[in-house]
Chain A
Amino acid sequence: MKKTLLLLCISLNCLAAEPTSVRQAELRHLLKNDCGACHGLTLKGGMGPALLPDNLQGKPDEFLINTILQGRKGTAMPPWKAFMNTDDALWLVRQLRKVPQ
Chain B
Amino acid sequence: MAFNVQAELRATGDLGLIIEREAGSALIIDTTEHKQLARIDKLGDLSHASVVFSRDQRFAYIFGRDGGLSKIDLLQDKLDKRIVQAGNSIGGAISQDGTLIAVSNYTPGGVKIFSADTLELVADIPADYDNGKLSKVVGLVDAPDQRFVFSLFDAGEIWTIDMSAPKKPKIEKFKNVGKFPYDGLITSDGRFYIAGLFGESGLALLDLWEPEKGIKRILPDYVKPDEQLPIYKMPHLEGWAVADDYIFVPAIGKNEVLVIDKQSWKLVKAIPVAGQPVFVMARPDGRQVWVNFATPENNKLQVIDVKTLNLQSTLTPGHAVLHMEFTPRGENVWVAVRDDDQVLVYDTHTLKEIAHLPAQKPNGVFFTSRANKIGF
Interface set of A (CB-CB < 8 Å, partner B): 29, 32-34, 36-38, 40-42, 44-47, 71, 74, 76, 78-80, 82-83
Please give the distance in Å from A44's CB to the nearest CB on chain B.
7
CB of A47 within 8 A of CB of B47, answer no
A20 to B153, CA, bound (A): 39
Question: B residues 173-203 with Cβ under 8 Å of A?
Answer: 180, 182, 198-199
Point out the residues of chain A lying under 8 angstroms from B230, CB to CB. Answer: 71, 78-79, 82
Please give the distance in Å from B120's CB to the nearest CB on chain A.
26
Can you pick out 18 interface pairs between chain A and chain B where the beta carbons lie within 8 Å of each other?
A: A29-B339, A37-B47, A40-B45, A40-B88, A41-B21, A44-B87, A44-B88, A45-B88, A45-B106, A46-B88, A47-B90, A47-B106, A47-B153, A76-B198, A76-B234, A78-B230, A80-B232, A83-B296
A4 to B189, CA, bound (A): 64
Which residue of chain B has its CB nearest to the CB of A32? B22
Point out the residues of chain B lying under 8 angstroms from A80, CB to CB. Answer: 232
Interface set of B (CB-CB < 8 Å, partner A): 21-22, 45, 47-48, 65-66, 87-88, 90, 106-107, 136, 153, 180, 182, 198-199, 230-234, 295-296, 320, 338-339
A71 to B320, CA, bound (A): 23
Partner of B47, one of A41, A74, A83: A41
A26 to B345, CA, bound (A): 28
Partner of B234, one of A32, A33, A37, A41: A37
Please give the distance in Å from A89's CB to the nearest CB on chain B.
15
Point out the residues of chain B lying under 8 angstroms from A45, CB to CB. Answer: 88, 106-107
CB of B231 within 8 A of CB of A36, answer no
Point out the residues of chain A lying under 8 angstroms from B90, CB to CB. Answer: 46-47
CB of A38 within 8 A of CB of B234, answer yes
Point out the residues of chain A lying under 8 angstroms from B47, CB to CB. Answer: 36-37, 40-42
Please give the distance in Å from B199's CB to the nearest CB on chain A.
8
Please give the distance in Å from A66's CB to the nearest CB on chain B.
15
A51 to B139, CA, bound (A): 24
Looking at A29, A37, A80, the one whose CB has the most chain B CB atoms below 10 A away is A37
CB of A41 within 8 A of CB of B295, answer no
CB of B231 within 8 A of CB of A76, answer yes
Please give the distance in Å from B87's CB to the nearest CB on chain A.
8
A65 to B87, CA, bound (A): 28
Partner of B295, one of A34, A38, A44, A46: A34
Which residue of chain B has its CB nearest to the CB of A41? B47
Point out the residues of chain A lying under 8 angstroms from B66, CB to CB. Answer: 42, 44
The 7 A-B pairs with the shortest beta carbon distances in the complex, nearest first, are: A41-B47, A78-B230, A79-B230, A78-B231, A41-B45, A78-B232, A37-B233
Which residue of chain A has its CB nearest to the CB of B338? A33
Point out the residues of chain A lying under 8 angstroms from B180, CB to CB. Answer: 76
A37 to B47, CA, bound (A): 7
Point out the residues of chain A lying under 8 angstroms from B234, CB to CB. Answer: 37-38, 47, 76
Please give the distance in Å from B50's CB to the nearest CB on chain A.
13
Point out the residues of chain A lying under 8 angstroms from B107, CB to CB. Answer: 45
Partner of B48, one of A29, A32, A37, A83: A37
A42 to B21, CA, bound (A): 11
A78 to B294, CA, bound (A): 12
